[in-house]
Copies of this chain bind each other. A is one copy, B any other.
Amino acid sequence: MNLLLLHPDDFISADHVQIRGRRLRHLNTVINANAGDCLIAGLLNGKIGKAHLLTINSDVAELRIELTEPPPTPLPIKLILALPRPKMLRRILQAATSLGIKEIHLIASWRVEKSYWQSPFLEAEKTREQLILGLEQSIDTQLPDIHLHPRFKPFVEDELDTIAAHSTRIVAHPRATEAIGTAPLNALTLAIGPEGGFIPYEIEKFAEFGFVAASLGPRILTVEVAVSSLISRFAVNLENDDRSTHN
């Protein structure tokens, strides 16, 4: 938790908050925060700044806040991801959020086990927890949106074109002969398959909607490593376009 992420419910006046629960425990047991400390804080979907710790005990902490700075610029990458197995999903959502992704579509694929869609980790409250952890880690406040698409064909035929509008379209495919180039990008829609990859039919459906299959190289990565790797790999091309994330 590199950022104390504040929710509207925390406010007791325009510039005072009270913190309880998980965040309070973190302040007490991990950060060992004391009255007088100054922390980095931000309002969910709002600005970032300082929080001055006025009082803290095991029940509640009270802080005076000054939020003056905008959050980091979102990465203009929409992520389309074959639903990973639940245990991996949590880490992947945190990682993608910490890298600055703001829109995630979890989709069906031939190699995604149908039972994954019944996982309690997919409930909105549970995925939101992971997104919040990713924001707290990365000192960001803008909550990503997650969309679930449990049927592949309707997703591709009815929604994909709209989602990817005005962006470069890439589907990561370990067996693709095309390497990822270094051409500047304005915005990207990036599709990543399950462990084992998308099947040829799925790659063809993506191709119908303008998605180019591209490979990161000869090595096959786990989905978790591929997500961080591909996002970071393409962030370079977005920087080349001067839409820097280093502002």
Q: Which residues of A does B touch, CB under 8 Å?
A: 2, 72, 94-95, 98-100, 137-140, 179, 182, 215-222, 224-225, 228-233, 235-236, 239-240, 244-247
**Given the complex of chains A and B, what is the CA–CA distance between A162 and B245 in angstroms?**
34
Say yes or no: A179 contacts B229, CB within 8 Å: no
Say yes or no: B217 contacts A179, CB within 8 Å: no
A139, A228, A233, most chain B CB atoms within 10 A: A228
**Given known A-B contacts A182-B240, A236-B182, A240-B182, A245 and B218 have beta carbons under 8 A apart:** yes
In the complex, how many angstroms separate the beta carbon of A238 from the nearest chain B beta carbon? 11
Q: Which residues of B contact A230 (CB under 8 A)?
A: 232
- A216 to chain B: closest residue by CB: B232
Q: Which residues of B contact A245 (CB under 8 A)?
A: 217-219
- A214 to chain B: closest residue by CB: B246
Q: Which residues of B contact A232 (CB under 8 A)?
A: 216, 228-230, 232-233
Q: Which residues of B contact A224 (CB under 8 A)?
A: 95
Q: Which residues of B contact A179 (CB under 8 A)?
A: 239, 244, 246
**Given the complex of chains A and B, what is the CA–CA distance between A222 and B140 in angstroms?**
14
**Given the complex of chains A and B, what is the CA–CA distance between A180 and B228 in angstroms?**
17
Say yes or no: A98 contacts B219, CB within 8 Å: yes
- Give 10 nearest A-B pairs by CB, closest first: A138-B219, A229-B232, A228-B228, A179-B246, A72-B218, A217-B245, A232-B232, A232-B233, A95-B225, A2-B220
